[in-house]
Chains A and B, each alone.
Chain A
Amino acid sequence: MNPIAAAVFAAVLVVAIGLFARRAVLIYRLIRMGKPAARFDDIPGRARAEAVVVIGQSKLLQRLLPGLMHAAIFWGFIVLLPTIAIAMIGVVDPHARLPWLGRQGWYAFLVDLFALLVLAGVITAFVIRKVQRPMRFAGSHLREADLILLLIAGIVVSLFLWHASQIALGINEYPAAWAPISSLISWGLHHSWTPYVERAAVWAHVLFILGFLVYLPYSKHLHIFVAAINVFFGRTRARGRLEPINFEAPTDADVRFGAATAADLTWKQMLDTVSCTECGRCQDVCPAYNTGKELSPKLLMMALRDQLLSGASTPLVPNAVTDNVVWDCVTCGACVRECPVGIEHIDHIVDLRRNLVMVESRFPDEAATMLRDVDRAGNPWGKPQSDRAHWADGLGVRVLSAGEAAPDVLFWVGCAPSFDERAKQGAISTAKLLKEAGVDFAILGPRESCTGDPARRMGDEYTFQKQAKQNVGTLNEARVKKIVTTCPHCFNTIGNEYADFGGRYEVVHHTDFLAGLVREGKLKTLAGDRKITYHDSCYLARHNDVREAPRELAAAAGQAVEMPRNRERTFCCGAGGARMWMEERRGKPINEERVREAAGTGAEILAVACPFCTVMLDDGVRTTGAKLQVIDLATLLSEAVERRRTRDSPTSTGGG
C-alpha cells in the first residue's frame, strides 16, 4: 500500500462526497417541503413498476434504437457498479483485491462485455445526437449531455486500459482468458512504461467516477439517482383520476388551491421536475407542441425545476411558464404515458390551472360561459335540463323518476349526446341496440347533470365537486350498480373519480358493452365493405385501457384499417382538458391534423367512440374538406345489425 496515494485518494473522496452531499441534502430538503401526496399504498404494485420500467427499461425500449442505447448503458452500469470499489482499492494498492468477486472469471467476463456495451451505447448516443438530431431535443441542455457522455466514455475507456495494463503486467488476479477485450488491448501494452499506464488508468478511472458523482446532482443527469425513486412513487391508482381538494375539512395545503409558487407543488411533483432528463419523448407526442403551440411538456418540467431550485417565491405563472402554456394542454396523457422516468405532467398542469381559476380568476374568457352554465344549468351549453331526454323522443326509452330503483343497466347519456345534434346519433343508436338485445335499461333524463369533468379539467375543482356530489346523490338514491355511457369523459369521471365522493359503480363504456352483446350473440352483425378507421379517444385508450372492444365493433361493421398513431399512442382530437370550450388561437388546429392522418389511410369512415371526438373531428372534416364521414361506432354497429337482418330475411323488409 502506498500511503501517499491513500492520503490523496482519501482527500479527493471526502471532497467529492461532500460536494455531492451538499447538493443532495438541498434537493432532499426542498422535496420534503412539498405538499403531501398519498404515494405509499400498494407497495407490491410499486415494486412491479420498478422492475418493469426501471430494470426492464420498458418505456425506453418503446423506441428501439435510443432504447437499446440507454439499456446498454444502464445495464452496463449496474454490472460495473462493483468495479468502482475494485478500482478504489486498486488506487491505493495495485495488488489488493475485492474479496471473492474481484477474483471471479465470469465477473471479469461480464465487466469486459458490458463495458463494451456501454461504449457502444455512448457512441450510439453521439450518433443520435449529432447525426440524427431528433427534434425532441429542441430546448434541452445539449452541451450538458455531451459532457456526461464524454465522462461515461472516459470511465469505460480508462477501465479497459487499467484492466489491459494489469494483464500486461501480470498482476491480474482473474484469468486473463475471461477478459478477451482487455487481453486484446494488453498486447499493445508490453513496454517499460506500462506500470505508469496502469497507475494513470486507475487514477483516471476513479477521478472520472468521482467527477461524475459530483456533476450529476448539478445537472439533468440527476435522474440517475431520482428517476428510480420517481417511478417507485408513480401513481398506482387510475391514471384518469385527479387528486381532490378537501373543501369540507381543508388542511393548510388544501387552502392553497393548486400551485401558485414552486413551494405549492406536492413532493411528488417536485420529484418529477428533478427527474426530468430532457429527453423530449413527451414533446415528441404532445398534440399541442406538434401543432405549433407554446406548450412543451418537457420545457414545462424544466421551467418548474429551474424555479424550484432557484428558491424563488414568485408565482409560477407567468414567471416559469406563460398562461398560454397552461391552457394549451388537452390532458390527453400522451406525455405521461411516454415518460421513461414516471413524470405525471397532467397533475402539474391541473394544479397550475386550479390556482389560476380559483385564486387568480384568470383563464381564457370564452371558457367562463361553460363554467357558469355547468354550475347553474347542469350542462356546459346552458340548455334547459327539461330538454335533456328529448334526444330519445319516440325511441321508447324509460326515464327513471325519483324514488324508482334503477334497472340492470343505467344508461348515462352525458351532456353532448343529450344536446348536441351531431353527438346525439351515437346515443340514439346505442339505445336502439340495447333494446334490440333485450337489455333492461333506463336513463335519468332531467335528473342527470354534467359530471363536472370539463370544470375539473379547467381547474374549477369547486364546481366539479358540487356536480359530483349531486350526481352521486342521485345515483345512490336510485341504487345504481351498473352504468353504461357513450362518453369517455363521463366514463372516466364516474368510474375513476366519483369513488372519492362515495359513488362506487361498475362503469362500462358503450363500445365495451356492445362488443359483449355481439360476442354473446345477442346482436348479429354483417360487415359492410366500406373502409373504416377508428380514432381512439384519449380517455378510453390511454387513460382507461379500452382499446380492443372498439376494434371488435369496427371489424364487425366494415373493413377496419389503422391510423399510424393508434391505441395507447393515439393523437388527441383537441377537445380534452376542457379545450372543447376554448378557442384554439395558437398554431394549427389539432382536429385537422388528426383528420388528415385519418384521410391518409384511405378510409371512407372515421369511426369514433366519444361525443367530443365526434364534434371536433366532424369540424375538422368540414374545414379540411377531407372525404370522410365521422360516425360513432354504435351507429356503425346498428347498420351492421340491420345489414344482417336484411340478408337473413330478405323478404320481410316490409316489417311483415
Chain B
Amino acid sequence: MSALVLMETNDASLQMLTLARKFGEPLRSVPMDAIEPFAPDAIAAVLALAADELGVSAVVAAGTDRGNEVMARLAARTGLPFAANCISAEPGETVRVVRQRWGGSLLETAILRSPRAVITVAPHTVRVTDGPQPKDLDVEPYLGRLAPADRVVQVTDHVAAAGGGVSLAEAKVVVSGGRGVGSKEGFAIIEELAGLLGGAVGCSRVVTSAGWRPHSDQVGQTGTKIAPDMYIACGISGATQHMAGCKGAKRILAINADSEAPIMQNADYAVVGDLKEIVPAISAEIRKTR
C-alpha cells in the first residue's frame, strides 16, 4: 500500500497529506508546477503513468480548482471512479469516503469500488498532522512519453479582469442608472460622474432588457451583488430584485423624479428631481472643488 499525491504549495495540500497517509507509505508526489505553463491533461498523464509504475493504491490531491480539474481528467483517461471533495476516507477492500455535496451543505457517505482510489480532499476540513513528507518524483522521464494531445489544453496567457476600470463588485463607489435615464446615450452623464468619483457604472434589469447596457453592469438579484461605500441610484425605482443586489451598500443616495418610489424609503439620502439636471450638477460641483 502506498499513495501518490499531487502537491501544490498551499495549506490545502498539507491538509490533504493527512488523508493520503492513510493509504500507506511511502508517499510519492508530483508537484503541480512540474509542468509550466499549467497543462492539466499533461499532469494527469504523468500521474497515470507514475501510478501504474509505482503500483499505488490511491492518487490524492487537494480539492482546489486545479486539483479537481487534474483529477477529473485523470479519472476520465483511466476510467477510474473519482470522489471529489472528501473529508474522510477509510481504505479497505472498498474505500469508504465521506464527501461534501451541494457546496458543503450536505455530507454523503459513498463506497468506492476501485483498484485505485482517485480522490480530492475538501480544503479546510482535515487538520494538518505531523508525519512523513512525500518524496518528489523525478517527472523528467515521464515528460518524454507525453502525447502532443496532452498539451493541447494549457495556460497561454494571464489577462487582468476585463474593463480596465474598477470592477462593479469591488468598487467603493457605484453610480447606477435605471429606466429614468431614458436611453443608451443618456448614460454619458452617469459614466461621467462614476469617472469623477473613481467608481463603476451599474444599472437596473430594465436597462439591460432594453439593451442600453450589458448584463455585466446589472446590479440585482440576477446580476452583480455589490457592497460599495456609496451607491448612487439614478432613476431607479428600487424593485425588490434590484435592492437584493445593493443591500450591502453602506450608504445609498437616490435621485428620482418620483418621491414615492420604493428606493426612496431605502435610501440614506434622497433627491427628488430630474436626474438629467441633478447628475451633471453634481459632476460640475466635483470639478470645481478639484
| CA A166 to CA B241, docked complex, whole Å | 77
Instruction: Please report the C-alpha to C-alpha distance between residue A382 and residue B245 in the assembled complex, in whole angstroms.
Output: 10
* Cross-interface CB contact of A585 among B102, B105, B215, B238, cutoff 8 Å: B215
404-444 of chain A: CB within 8 A of chain B: 416, 419-422
Residues of A within 8 A of B262 (CB): 421
Known: A421-B262, A615-B239. A381 touches B222 (CB 8 A): no
Whether B240 is near chain A, meaning CB under 8 Å from some CB there, is yes
Interchain CB contact (< 8 A) of A369 among B103, B106, B215, B244: B244
A421-B238, A622-B179, A622-B206 as given contacts; A369 in contact with B221, CB under 8 Å: yes
Within 8 A of A (CB), among B241-260: 241, 243-244, 247
Q: Which of B221-243 contact A (CB under 8 A)?
A: 221-223, 225, 238-241, 243
Tell me, in angstroms, the Cα distance from A370 to B223 when the chains sit together.
Answer: 12
Contact pick for A419, options B102, B105, B215, B240, CB 8 Å: B240
Report yes or no: B239 in contact with A583, Cβ–Cβ below 8 A: no
Chain B, 180-237, CB within 8 A of any chain A CB: 205-206, 208-210, 215, 221-223, 225
Interface size in chain A (residues, C-beta < 8 A)? 27
A369–B225 CB distance below 8 A = yes
Asked if B105 and A375 make an inter-chain contact with CB atoms under 8 angstroms apart, the answer reads yes
Q: Are A370 and B221 in contact (CB under 8 A)?
A: yes
| A623 CB within 8 Å of chain B | yes
Q: How far is the CA of A583 from the CA of B222 in the complex (A)?
A: 6
A229 to chain B, nearest CB (A): 38
| C-alpha gap A370/B220 in the complex (Å) | 11
Contacts of A382 in B (CB 8 A): 244, 247
Option from B102, B105, B208, B240 in Cβ contact (under 8 Å) with A421: B240
Residues of B within 8 A of A361 (CB): 102-103
Given contacts A366-B222, A583-B215, contact A589 B244 (CB under 8 A): no
B59 → chain A closest CB, angstroms: 23
Please pick, from B103, B209, B223, B225, the residue contacting A589 in the complex, using a CB distance under 8 A: B209
What residues on B are CB-neighbors of A367 within 8 Å? 222
Bound-state Cα–Cα, A186 to B192, Å: 90
The residue in chain A whose Cβ has the minimal distance to the Cβ of B223 is: A366
Chain B residues contacting A585 (CB-CB under 8 Å) are 215
Contact (A358, B102) CB under 8 Å given A419-B240, A589-B209, A623-B206:
yes
Q: How large is the interface on B (under 10, 10 to 19, 20 to 34, 35 or more residues)?
A: 20 to 34
- Kindly provide the distance from the CB of B193 to the nearest chain A CB, expressed in whole angstroms: 24
Which of A358, A369, A370, A421 has the largest number of chain B CB atoms within 10 A? A421
Could you tell me the distance between the alpha carbons of A492 and B102 in the complex, rounded to whole angstroms?
27
Report the separation of the CA atoms of residues A382 and B262 in the bound assembly, to the nearest whole angstrom.
Answer: 17
Q: Which of A422, A462, A582, A622 interacts with B222 by CB under 8 Å?
A: A582
A577 vs B11: C-alpha distance when bound (angstroms)? 42
C-alpha spacing A585/B241, complex, angstroms: 17
A366 closest partner in B (C-beta): B222
Q: Inside 8 A of A622's CB, which chain B residues have their CB?
A: 179, 206
**Bound form: Cα–Cα A507–B154 in Å:** 58
- A619 pairs with B206, CB closer than 8 A: yes
Q: Which residue of A lies closest to B262 (CB)?
A: A421
Once the chains bind, are A422 and B215 in contact (CB under 8 Å)? no
Which residues on B sit within 8 Å (CB–CB) of A623? 179, 206, 209-210
SS of B interface (majority): helix
A615–B206 CA distance with the chains assembled, in angstroms: 12
With CB as the reference atom, state the residue of chain B lying closest to A368.
B103
Q: State whether the Cβ of A581 lies closer than 8 Å to any Cβ in chain B.
A: yes
The residue on A at minimum CB distance from B205 is: A619
On whether the beta carbons of B206 and A421 are closer than 8 Å, the reply is no
Q: Contact: B239 with A581, CB < 8 Å?
A: no
B85 to chain A: closest CB distance in Å? 11
Q: Is the Cβ of B239 less than 8 Å from the Cβ of A421? A: yes
A462 touches B106 (CB 8 A): yes
| Nearest residue, chain A, Cβ from B220 | A366
Find chain B residues with CB under 8 A from A370 CB. Answer: 221
**Can you name the residue of chain A whose Cβ is closest to the Cβ of B225?**
A369
Residue of B nearest to A416 (CB): B240
- Measured CB to CB, the nearest residue on chain B to A247 is B106
Interface-centre pick from B206, B238, B240, B243 (highest chain A CB count, 10 A): B240
The smallest beta-carbon distance between B264 and chain A, in angstroms, is 11
Q: How far is the CB of A419 from chain B (nearest CB, A)?
A: 6
Residues on the A chain within 8 Å of B206, using CB: 619, 622-623
Is B244 within 8 A of A381, CB to CB?
Answer: yes
* Cβ distance A357 to chain B, nearest Cβ, rounded Å: 9
**B contact residues around A462 at 8 Å (CB):** 102, 106
Residues of B contacting A369 in the complex (Cβ-Cβ under 8 angstroms):
221-222, 225, 244
**What residues of chain A lie closer than 8 Å to B103, measured between beta carbons?**
361
Distance between Cα atoms of A369 and B102 in the complex (Å):
14
Bound together, the chains give a CA A422 to CA B261 distance in angstroms of: 10
A381 and B240 contacting across the interface, CB-CB below 8 Å:
yes
Q: How far is A500 from B10 in the complex, measured between Cα atoms in Å?
A: 47
Cα(A370)–Cα(B208), bound, Å = 20
What residues on A are CB-neighbors of B105 within 8 Å? 375
CB neighbours (8 Å) of A375 from chain B are 105
Expressed in whole angstroms, the Cα–Cα distance for A366 and B210 within the complex equals 19
Chain B residues with CB under 8 Å of A421's CB are 238-240, 262
A584–B206 alpha-carbon span in the complex (Å)? 11
Interchain CB contact under 8 A, A581 and B102 = no
* Bound-complex Cα distance A369 to B103 (A): 13
* Cα(A582)–Cα(B222), bound, Å: 6
**A358-B179 Cα distance, complex, nearest whole Å:** 37
Alpha-carbon gap, A375 to B106, bound state (A): 12
Q: In the docked arrangement, what's the CA distance between A420 and B244, Å?
A: 10
B204 CB → nearest A CB, Å: 10
Q: What string of 1s and 0s marks CB contacts (under 8 Å) between A40-81 and chain B?
A: 000000000000000000000000000000000000000000
- Taking the closest CB of chain A, its distance from the CB of B186, in whole angstroms, is 15
Contact with B along A342-377 (1 / 0, CB 8 A): 000000000000000010010000110110000100
Contacts of A615 in B (CB 8 A): 239-241
Nearest CB of B to A76, in Å: 51
A358 to B209 CA separation, bound complex (whole angstroms): 30
Chain B residue at smallest Cβ distance from A460: B102
CB neighbours (8 Å) of B240 from chain A are 381, 416, 419-421, 615
Residue of A nearest to B243 (CB): A381
List residues of chain A with CB within 8 A of the CB of B238: 421
- Taking CB atoms, residues of chain B closer than 8 Å to A416 are 240
- A610-639 interface (Cβ within 8 A of B): 615, 619, 622-623
Query: CA–CA, A337 to B232, complex, Å?
Result: 47
Task: State in angstroms the CA–CA spacing of A589 and B238 once bound together.
Answer: 21
Complex Cα distance A255/B125, Å? 25
Known: A583-B215, A585-B215, A623-B210. A420 touches B222 (CB 8 A): no
- Whole-angstrom CA separation of A76 from B206 in the bound complex: 55
- In the complex the two chains form, is A366's CB within 8 Å of B239's CB? no
CB atoms of B239 and A381 under 8 A apart: no
Least Cβ distance of A651 to chain B in Å?
Answer: 31
Q: Which residues of B contact A583 (CB under 8 A)?
A: 208, 215, 222-223
How far apart are A613's CB and chain B's nearest CB, in angstroms? 15
Closest to B106 in A: A462
Q: A381 — which chain B residues lie within 8 A by C-beta?
A: 221, 240-241, 243-244
Near B by CB (< 8 A), chain A positions 367-398 give 367, 369-370, 375, 380-383
Between-chain CB contacts (< 8 Å), 27 pairs: A358-B102, A366-B223, A369-B221, A369-B225, A369-B244, A381-B221, A381-B240, A381-B243, A381-B244, A382-B244, A382-B247, A416-B240, A419-B240, A421-B239, A421-B240, A421-B262, A462-B102, A581-B221, A582-B222, A583-B208, A584-B209, A589-B209, A615-B239, A615-B240, A619-B239, A623-B206, A623-B209
Residues of A that sit less than 8 Å from B by CB:
358, 361, 366-367, 369-370, 375, 380-383, 416, 419-422, 462, 581-585, 589, 615, 619, 622-623
Given A583-B223, A619-B206, A622-B179, 6 more A-B residue pairs with CB atoms under 8 Å apart are: A375-B105, A381-B221, A381-B240, A381-B244, A421-B239, A584-B209
Pick the 3 closest A-B CB pairs, nearest first.
A366-B222, A421-B262, A420-B240
B→A interface (CB under 8 Å): 102-103, 105-106, 179, 205-206, 208-210, 215, 221-223, 225, 238-241, 243-244, 247, 262
